[in-house]
Chains A and B, each alone.
Chain A
């Protein structure tokens, strides 16, 4: 199948780290992406990782890729209220499609 799976909700206290997980099925995926969607807005690319990399760090964001298990994660350090959004995992497939997960809604607790 072409499914990209992620949990639907995550609650994290302000200042803690958030870890959003994703699994995908296409082993030929070349790029994997994390997008952020704030209420009423379109999707904004946060970061992406090429399939031959294990890790990518960009300021507060760390992406980990386990290609053997087809598992991708996004870690947000020092989570802030502005990080409250829906986070989508996506994979690019060899037939040029980009398949999105259903999104993880990140809720920040005070």
Chain B
């Protein structure tokens, strides 16, 4: 298994540009998450999904959109990039059944710089 893969690894955007951060997992996990990590800070949840076709907002959803058309893919869309969105973005997945939540597996991250 490749686990959780993210592309691109690094991207520079101009203010107002848009882009999609890709995330794919091959573990058939039902839950997927997007986090951002600002320098010297912890992780903030942007959006998450409990299964294909279902998405929910996390702590900091403004400026982002997601979709979950398949179990494997959970792309994160930035429509109008702003300097405040400069961050490292981590995708994660986990399997949850009832109250039992398996551990989260993280992708390697995408570094985004908005100038």
Interfacial residues, chain A to chain B (CB-CB below 8 A): 2, 4, 30-31, 33, 41-45, 48, 88, 92, 96-103
- Contact-residue bracket for chain B: 20 to 34
> Which B residue's beta carbon lies closest to that of A8?
B40
Q: Is B12 part of the contact surface with A, judged by Cβ < 8 Å?
A: no
Contact status B90-A43, CB under 8 Å: yes
Q: How far is the CA of A103 from the CA of B48 in the complex (A)?
A: 21
Q: How far is the CA of A42 from the CA of B94 in the complex (A)?
A: 15
> Which B residue's beta carbon lies closest to that of A40?
B109
Closest-CB distance, B78 to chain A (whole angstroms): 20
**Of B17-25, B66-74, B79-87, B96-104, the one with at least 4 CB within 8 A of chain A:** B96-104
3 smallest A-B Cβ distances: which pairs? A102-B42, A100-B43, A42-B106
Q: Is B58 part of the contact surface with A, judged by Cβ < 8 Å?
A: yes
With A43-B90, A99-B45 in contact, is A33–B103 under 8 Å at CB?
A: yes
Q: How far is the CA of A103 from the CA of B43 in the complex (A)?
A: 9
With A30-B101, A45-B103, A102-B41 in contact, is A96–B108 under 8 Å at CB?
A: no
Q: How far is the CA of A30 from the CA of B107 in the complex (A)?
A: 24
Closest-CB distance, A47 to chain B (whole angstroms): 9
Q: How far is the CA of A78 from the CA of B34 in the complex (A)?
A: 35
Cβ contacts under 8 Å, A45 to chain B: 103-105
Closest-CB distance, B91 to chain A (whole angstroms): 9
Closest-CB distance, B45 to chain A (whole angstroms): 6
User: What are 7 A-B interface contacts by the 8 Å CB criterion?
Assistant: A41-B109, A42-B106, A45-B104, A88-B43, A97-B58, A98-B94, A101-B42
Cβ contacts under 8 Å, B101 to chain A: 30-31, 92, 98
Cβ contacts under 8 Å, B104 to chain A: 33, 43, 45, 98
Closest-CB distance, B2 to chain A (whole angstroms): 14
Q: How far is the CA of A33 from the CA of B42 in the complex (A)?
A: 14
Q: Is B50 part of the contact surface with A, judged by Cβ < 8 Å?
A: yes
With A43-B90, A45-B103, A45-B104 in contact, is A97–B48 under 8 Å at CB?
A: yes
